[in-house]
Structure 1
Amino acid sequence: MKKQIITLTVAALTLSSCGIYTKYKPATEVPINLYGEEVVVTDTLDNMGNLSWREVFTDPQLQILIEKGLQNNTDLQSAQWRVKEAEATLLSAKLAYLPSFALSPQGTVSSFDKSKAMQTYTLPVTASWEIDIFGQIRNAKRQAKALLEQSRDYKQAVRTQLIAGIANTYYTLLMLDAQFEISVRTQHSWKETVDATRALMEAGMANEAAISQMEATYYTICTSVLDLKEQINQVENSLSLLLAETPHTIERADTWNFPYGMQERFSVGIPVQMLSNRPDVRSAERSLEAAFYVTNQARSAFYPSIVLSGSAGWTNSAGSMIVNPGKFIATAIGSLTQPLFNRGTNIARLKIAKAQQEEAKLGFQQTLLNAGSEVNEALVKYQTAKEKAAYYDKQIMSLNKAFESTSLLMQHGNTTYLEVLTAQQTLLSAQLNQVANRFAEIQGVINLYQALGGGRD
């Protein structure tokens, strides 16, 4: 008896060393300088990715739109159904541990040479139970669990992308509103300039060429106003699609409400923390985990499968006799199946599983690199736009003075209409660029929130 125990123990240890029972170990290391050399990381858990989206996006109108999107968006609903499918798959994998039962009634009517027909019946309940000694069912369950978590991560990724998409589209509308307002104001101002130049021409202080050039520029501004109206309509339609609604006018604020009031300082957290924050990183690791357990299943195929089966019920067929009423009958069978002639197939399956596991490992590593790059780009985008904002303020102040000065000089005949034209065109361009830079600054915050795995309630 002791020898048998020792033999079984040695066999179990041998099988364990072959990787049948090993569990996946989560990744704990990431590439050095994942966020880039210029980004200083911290070891605090209080980073932007942990904030609720309501803390980041405080604009009441934007919050209403995000809530609508989370409720109605079809991509997010599809992701929720994927989670339900994975939950059902995991439940099936768990039930594989239990024996299966089936009721298999049988009846026959037989007659030989026109003799009296004989009726026999059997009413058995059959049962079958595979004993999971070599880990096939266990690894299948772990694989299903990893795929369930991956589907949940996918749902969170869709949610994060949806929130960021709605916020970006909303602030795009605010940017276009501001540019439209500037263009309309410039249109009115330029109309006054055209009228003033025409009056100067009638007084003999300007020529027809000046009027023609002024009017041509005025018409160009008019067309740009119409272009902006069209762009606003297109962006509203895009946002309506995100909300799963028909095209309609989007209610929005009159002024810019900068997201995340503590934008002066961003805390991105240590790189390892992205493993628990970013859903796409978690999803990539779940793929690696699932591939790991598929490899374990491929190894298990080299070992025998043990199945216990049996049946119990009533029958009136007792060999050559028929007895009524029927008698109770029970059978029990144990079988062990060892693969012999399909070893080559099992070897091929193991090689395929190992190759797929290496592919999943590379995919996980690439996802990490992409995550670090996105954090870096979002931070640099925000910081660059913030630094440029002060220069735009000074530029516009100088251009306003230049336009006012050239306008006065032209009225007194000390300068040409071309200098006024250039000054106002340059001022308009700078004002539009200032608004676009403001949007880039806000977009940097939104992209950083998404890159750090934000989107929680």
Structure 2
Amino acid sequence: MKKIIILMCATALLSSCHIYKSYDRPEDITVEGLYRDTIAGGDTLAADTANFGNLPWKEVFTDAQLQTLIEQALTNNADLRSAALTVKQAQAALMSARLAYAPMLALSPQGTVSSFDKGKATQTYSLPVTASWQIDLFGQLLNPKRKAQVSLKQTQFYEQAVQTQVIANVANMYYTLLMLDRQLQISESTCDILKRNLETVEAMKEAAMANSAAVEQSRTAYAQVLASLPDIRQSIRETENALCLMLNQPAQSIARGTLEQQQLPAEFSTGIPLQLLSNRPDVKAAEMSLAASYYDTNSARAAFYPQITLSGSAGWTNSAGSAIINPGKLLASAIGSLTQPLFYRGANIARLKQAKAQEEQAKIQFQTTLLKAGNEVSNALYQYQMTSDKAISREIQVNSARKAAEDTKELFNLGTSTYLEVLSAEQSYLSAQLSEVADTFDRMQSVISLYQALGGGRE
């Protein structure tokens, strides 16, 4: 019998080498050409040696008030705290998987008191300690432990991904507030100008130098800009409230700087596409999900092989069959068992097919996450390039609109231009200024998006 068991184990070991193999990234995962060049649309970006995503977030966002807000969010944000608790759960699961290698010990004392026909009571007792230990010859314990290890890494990478998202969201909301502040400032300044213009035209009408149409046109322009102010103020209030929610604090006013004070990096190195595998937390988390599925498949394969368990017990008892002896004597036993699946082989086959399908799904998701990461880098790079190009034209537009407004007003004062032309020039100047502010914000947003897309702020 002993030789048969040894032969069975040796045969199973030779046929089960795959269940011990560690996860390796599949060779057919695409890691080249993940993002496009910003100039030549059909070419992939040339490899860089440095990576913008490796910069500490304090070197990217240098505004002291923004840094304070980001630090507050990293401490208090509810999503980030929840992610940290998920990591603790995974750590506990890994500890449980490691302890599965240790023998199971149990102390189960028992005692009885019995009497026959009102005779003298007899007392028996036993104080056994039992132990059982599964010998992991076929990976029934190894693969769950490895899965727990990669699952812990997956939760840690997820926590990093949440952190990068929190940093990007806080920065975006902060710069949104600065943009709205600047738009409000421009609109209020324009509103003051239009109000003075209205007063001037009303005085000119009283002096018979302007007609009622000019007055109403001036009043309409003034009212139009005045009506836009509540919308901007409402946007400011709602953005402040959203930022407070991100900081996990009651809604309140947010201390901040100005749009003109902000300085963000202007030159970027994205690194080679392969660096996305080591920098992007969501990409690493997706790969750990694939690794966990791989070990699930190995566990399903291991279920086809026998399970060998050693068990034994030792303890003191005063029960010797029909006799009772005092003091008690030591009793010990040892058992070795081998369990080979026979009648539930069909269930094991179904489980293996399910695990293989889930592993293939995880592989597809990993590749999709990687391609999505490349797209995000491409989009952010191109957005920055386009907003940089737009800034040149927008500066020309703003300067020309300002000059046109000034010249038209001078011509009106000289009586060679109508007030309608003055209003049109003022509105064009206002529109150009607001567009310039929006372009500046878009450029800032592209920097934030690129930093996040390259895995910035993960540490």
TM range (shorter): over 0.9
What does the per-residue CA deviation read over 1:73-95, in whole Å, with 9 as the maximum and x for residues that have no partner? 11111111000000000000001
1:67 is aligned to 71
User: 2:125 and 2:7 mapped to 1: Cα distance?
Assistant: 49
1:407 is aligned to 409
Write the letter of the residue equivalent to 2:33: N
Residues 1:243 and 1:345: Cα distance change in structure 2 (over 3 Å)? same
1:204 is aligned to 208
Match runs of 1:233-244 below 5 Å = 233-244=237-248
Question: Structure 1 length as normaliser, TM-score?
Answer: 0.95
Residues 1:288 and 1:455: Cα distance change in structure 2 (over 3 Å)? same
Corresponding residue pairs, total? 452
Match runs of 1:4-23 below 5 Å = 11-16=12-17, 19-23=18-22
RMSD over aligned Cα atoms: 2.0
What does the per-residue CA deviation read over 1:249-283, in whole Å, with 9 as the maximum and x for residues that have no partner? 1111134344543x1x2110111111110000001
1:429 is aligned to 431
SS across alignment from 1:109: strand
Equivalent of 1:100 in 98, 104, 107: 104
What does the per-residue CA deviation read over 1:198-219, in whole Å, with 9 as the maximum and x for residues that have no partner? 2222222321111112112211
Moved more, 31-40 or 445-454: 31-40
Match runs of 1:51-62 below 5 Å = 51-62=55-66
**Alpha carbons 2:13, 2:138 under 8 Å: kept:** no
Equivalent of 2:191 in 167, 187, 191: 187
Q: Does 1:248 align with 2:252?
A: yes
Equivalent of 1:158 in 162, 168, 186: 162
**Alpha carbons 1:30, 1:271 under 8 Å: kept:** no
Residues 1:408 and 1:195: Cα distance change in structure 2 (over 3 Å)? same
User: 1:78 and 1:4 mapped to 2: Cα distance?
Assistant: 50
What does the per-residue CA deviation read over 1:114-172, in whole Å, with 9 as the maximum and x for residues that have no partner? 33322111100110100000001000000001110000001000100000111111111
Residues 1:2 and 1:270: Cα distance change in structure 2 (over 3 Å)? farther
SS across alignment from 1:313: strand
Q: Does 1:266 align with 2:268?
A: yes
Moved more, 212-221 or 427-436: 212-221
1:357 is aligned to 359
Equivalent of 1:178 in 167, 182, 194: 182
2:30 is aligned to 30
Q: In the TM superposition, what is the alpha-carbon distance from 1:13 to its structure 2 partner?
A: 3.1
Q: Does 1:40 align with 2:45?
A: yes
Moved more, 380-389 or 35-44: 35-44
User: 2:296 and 2:259 mapped to 1: Cα distance?
Assistant: 55
Write the letter of the residue equivalent to 2:403: K
**Alpha carbons 2:32, 2:274 under 8 Å: kept:** no
What are the ranges of 5 or more consecutive residues in structure 1 without an aligned counterpart? none
Q: In the TM superposition, what is the alpha-carbon distance from 1:422 to its structure 2 partner?
A: 1.4
Question: Structure 2 length as normaliser, TM-score?
Answer: 0.94
SS across alignment from 1:361: helix
1:336 is aligned to 338
User: 2:7 and 2:137 mapped to 1: Cα distance?
Assistant: 17
Equivalent of 1:382 in 378, 381, 384: 384
What are the ranges of 5 or more consecutive residues in structure 2 without an aligned counterpart? none
Residues 1:111 and 1:41: Cα distance change in structure 2 (over 3 Å)? farther
SS across alignment from 2:328: strand
Identity of aligned residues (%): 55
Write the letter of the residue equivalent to 2:388: K
Moved more, 269-278 or 193-202: 193-202
SS across alignment from 1:271: coil
Q: In the TM superposition, what is the alpha-carbon distance from 1:290 to its structure 2 partner?
A: 0.1
Write the letter of the residue equivalent to 2:226: C
User: 1:375 and 1:258 mapped to 2: Cα distance?
Assistant: 23
User: 2:62 and 2:176 mapped to 1: Cα distance?
Assistant: 16
Write the letter of the residue equivalent to 2:418: T
User: 2:45 and 2:341 mapped to 1: Cα distance?
Assistant: 57
Write the letter of the residue equivalent to 2:277: L
Q: In the TM superposition, what is the alpha-carbon distance from 1:417 to its structure 2 partner?
A: 2.3
**Alpha carbons 2:161, 2:458 under 8 Å: kept:** no
Residues 1:300 and 1:35: Cα distance change in structure 2 (over 3 Å)? same
